[in-house]
């Protein structure tokens, strides 16, 4: 059930700082598909979580507890980072980063910020513009992964502030979206406990996302999920139903799972 969290935790470990006494990373033990290679790109990026690559090759990285946002620069384009610059500090779990038209978007728990013209001002970053500050302030599943969709809108998940609960606030346990200027904020999909990653299928435009499901229903139960949302307004079951057909002991009841969109794959 916690496969997604385990993989993510391993990646965060690899992204940690490397001191003089640090052991070499066991890169040769990572199994890769045929034709792929792996090597260390950047050191000293403590707490690295999510990444966004600009068209010019600057890699922006968000963190959680560190409160920092980094810019990793490969000046000579040899696929090895030459410089790591801290472009923002003391933010509230700035996990999510996205890049659009020269601006860096950063998602804190309670708001989304924008740093205009950031690549030309890495040493003296501009003061951020508050794009939208209408998000809940709960730390529980509050770290956000953000991305711009093919429709030009910015998608922002808001996790459930609990292991399993039902809140009246429709923003919780949902995937929201808004225009780049922060206007038009709306719920795109609901019934999602904690979306940990998402992307769009190029041919159909359907949104695919993972969901880290609740804990403590038994060994390996319930499974995590891979879901598909081809349209707005779909409900994916939380907190009533988990996986394809597991009723929640408190919020579910027999036959209720059939009312929601089942996962495309249980993980």
pLDDT category of residue 13 using cuts at 50, 70 and 90 = very low
Among the four given CATH numbers 1.20.1250.20, 2.40.10.10, 3.90.1150.150, 2.40.10.500, the one describing domain 1-14+44-133: 2.40.10.500
pLDDT of the residue at 220: 86
CB count in 10 Å sphere of residue 223: 18
List, for residues 203-215, the tens digit of each pLDDT value.
Answer: 999 999 999 999 9
Between residues 15 and 67, which one has the greater pLDDT? 67
Q: Check pLDDT > 90 for residue 10.
A: no
R_g over Cα of the chain:
19
pLDDT tens digit string along 220-251?
899 999 999 999 999 999 999 999 999 999 99
Could you tell me the pLDDT band of residue 22, with boundaries at 50, 70 and 90?
low
**β-bridge partners, 103:** 100
Q: Where are the beta strands (DSSP E) in 121-249?
A: 129-132, 147-148, 154-158, 174-178, 186-190, 195-200, 207-211, 225-229, 234-235, 241-242, 246-247
Per residue in 95-130, pLDDT (tens digit) is 999 999 999 999 999 999 999 999 999 999 999 999
Bin 159: left if φ > 0, else alpha if -120 < ψ < 50, else beta.
Answer: beta
- Per the structure block, which two tokens stand in for 134? 């209408």
List every span in the chain annotated with CATH 2.40.10.500: 1-14+44-133
Q: Which tokens belong to 116?
A: 């205009």
Average pLDDT over the chain reads: 91
pLDDT value, residue 25: 82
pLDDT of the residue at 15 = 47
The side-by-side arrangement of strands in the sheet containing 265-266 is 195-200, 207-211, 225-229, 265-266
Task: Please tell me the distance from the alpha carbon of residue 68 to that of residue 198, in angstroms, as a whole number.
Answer: 23
Q: Quick check: 2 pLDDT over 80?
A: no
- Report the predicted TM-score, pTM, of the whole model to 2 decimal places: 0.90
Give residue-wise pLDDT tens across range 136-185: 999 999 999 999 999 999 999 999 999 999 999 999 999 999 999 999 99
pLDDT on residue 260 = 98
**CATH number attached to the domain at 137-267:** 2.120.10.30
Q: Where in the chain is the domain with CATH 2.120.10.30?
A: 137-267
The share of the chain scoring above pLDDT 90, in percent, equals 86
């Amino acid at each position: 059930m916690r496969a997604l969290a385990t993989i993510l935790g391993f990646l965060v470990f690899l992204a940690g700082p490397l001191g003089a006494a640090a052991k070499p990373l066991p890169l040769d033990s990572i199994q890769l598909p045929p034709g792929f290679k792996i090597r260390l790109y950047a050191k000293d990026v403590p707490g690295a979580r999510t990444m966004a690559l600009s068209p010019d090759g600057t890699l922006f990285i968000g963190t959680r507890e560190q409160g920092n946002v980094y810019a990793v620069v490969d000046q000579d384009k040899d696929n090895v980072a030459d410089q790591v610059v801290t472009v923002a500090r003391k933010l509230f779990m700035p996990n999510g980063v996205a890049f659009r038209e020269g601006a860096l978007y950063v998602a804190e728990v309670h708001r989304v910020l924008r740093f205009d013209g950031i690549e030309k001002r890495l040493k003296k970053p501009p003061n951020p513009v508050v794009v939208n500050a209408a998000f809940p302030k709960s730390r529980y599943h509050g770290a956000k992964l953000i991305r711009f969709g093919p429709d030009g809108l910015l998608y922002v998940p808001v996790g459930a502030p609990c292991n399993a609960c039902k809140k009246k606030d429709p923003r919780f346990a949902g995937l929201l979206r808004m225009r780049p200027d922060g206007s038009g904020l709306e719920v795109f999909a609901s019934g999602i406990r904690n979306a940990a990653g998402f992307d769009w299928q190029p041919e159909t435009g359907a949104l695919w996302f993972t969901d880290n499901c609740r804990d403590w229903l038994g060994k390996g139960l319930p499974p995590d999920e891979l879901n598909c949302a081809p349209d707005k307004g779909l409900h994916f079951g939380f907190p009533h139903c988990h996986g394809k057909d597991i009723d929640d002991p408190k919020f579910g009841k027999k036959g209720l799972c059939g009312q929601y969109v089942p996962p495309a794959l249980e993980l």
